[in-house]
Structure 1
Amino acid sequence: MRNGVRFPLRLKVRVETEQGAFDAETEDVSASGVLFRTQAEAPAINAQLSWTMVLPGEVMGGPADTVVHCLGRVIWRRSSQDGQQIGAVIDSYRIAGGPK
């Protein structure tokens, strides 16, 4: 069951784990979680993740992009035709401002 409104945002991200990093794309994002799609092997349930998202200014309603550094963990994963889907909860985040 989802707790928040999800927004369909396709953002390229680099996800860091204790086992290494992988490239992914977000499918949707909410204040409490994110759905990733990747061609890499999905991390285990409860694996710790960190990633940075650049939210476009036009999506955020401002003149500049917003950079958000997130820490979270895998709550589910599954294989699909396009690779792996990973559902992650956002445990904490830090807004860093726009890119320079």
Structure 2
Amino acid sequence: MRVGEDLVLLVRLTPRGGRDALDGISTLSDGRTVAAARVRAPAEDGKANTALLALVAAAAGVPRSSVTLEAGATSRLKTVRIRRAGVPAEAALGAALAGP
């Protein structure tokens, strides 16, 4: 979702997922739509969160410094903000979530 110049993304993260990838869009049991992601990093000492932020930055084609974790540091459900994300970043992220 767009918040001013930023993109805010709700992500369900699977740490130790065997690979670093965005796995498309999922719907939670409460009806919320989230991006599904997995990373190889374990969920300890913030390693999985760091890997997620790098994954989102690469998928959107923005510098890693533009991507921050807004909420969910210790939860599987995370809120990620991409600051000053333009239309190209939004399109690239959408394509990455759509899959091949």
> Is the TM value for this pair above 0.5?
no
Which has the larger Rg? 1
Structure with higher RCO (Cα < 8 A, 6+ apart)? 2
Answer 1 or 2: which has greater strand percent: 1
Answer 1 or 2: which has greater helix percent: 2
